[in-house]
């Protein structure tokens, strides 16, 4: 006679797949996306996407920030090409914001947000509170890792048809 022993299931490894975790990531996704949309309209209102406005902001960071000299060279290049870079940044910011809010292509879009916010964090070193941008930088990385579009987003619908896709 054999006796089957049952052991309690360890559900801790399943936490990321639980609805509460997915909903929490979706909430972070919505907040980061709303931040991008809000900043877009704020910058638009301040004229920051015009060549002169953009170059002025970048030149301020070149003079005032504690970012590495190599990064300041990149900023100088951006400033001298503000007529192209400023509208490109505007399109990127509003696109990232909208795509995060609707939850479409969340992983690659969150990666763009992570890289952009990380570069902005380096740009602003010494000019603002260090945690001001570091929190959304890390939150954006969490959206990439956590597949945050799979709850409350279009990615959730796409994942039903193609669950193994790395895009959502």
**CA-to-CA distance for 151 and 94, rounded, in angstroms?**
21
DSSP-derived secondary structure for 150-161? GSSSHHHHHHHH
Name the stretches of the chain with pLDDT < 70. 1-18
| Domain spans of the chain, in order of start | 23-161
CB count in 10 Å sphere of residue 143: 25
Structure pTM?
Answer: 0.85
pLDDT of the residue at 19: 76
Nearest to 28 by CA among 138, 121, 154: 138
Return the closest-CA partner of residue 134 out of 144, 123, 146: 123
Give the model's pLDDT for residue 12: 39
């Amino acid at each position: 006679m054999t006796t089957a022993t049952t052991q309690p299931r360890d559900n801790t490894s399943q936490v990321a797949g639980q609805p509460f975790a997915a909903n929490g990531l979706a909430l972070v996704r919505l907040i980061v996306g709303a931040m991008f949309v809000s900043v877009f309209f704020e910058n638009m209102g301040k004229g920051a996407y015009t060549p002169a406005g953009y170059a002025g902001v970048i030149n301020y960071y070149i003079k005032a920030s504690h970012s590495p000299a190599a990064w300041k060279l990149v900023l100088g290049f951006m400033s001298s090409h503000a007529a192209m870079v400023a509208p490109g940044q505007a399109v990127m910011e509003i696109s990232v914001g909208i795509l995060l809010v609707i939850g479409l292509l969340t992983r690659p879009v969150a990666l763009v947000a992570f890289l952009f916010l990380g570069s902005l964090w380096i740009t602003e070193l010494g000019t603002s509170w260090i945690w001001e941008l570091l929190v959304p930088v890390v939150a954006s990385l969490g959206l990439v890792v956590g597949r945050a579009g799979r709850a409350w987003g279009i990615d959730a619908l796409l994942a039903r048809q193609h669950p193994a896709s790395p895009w959502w």
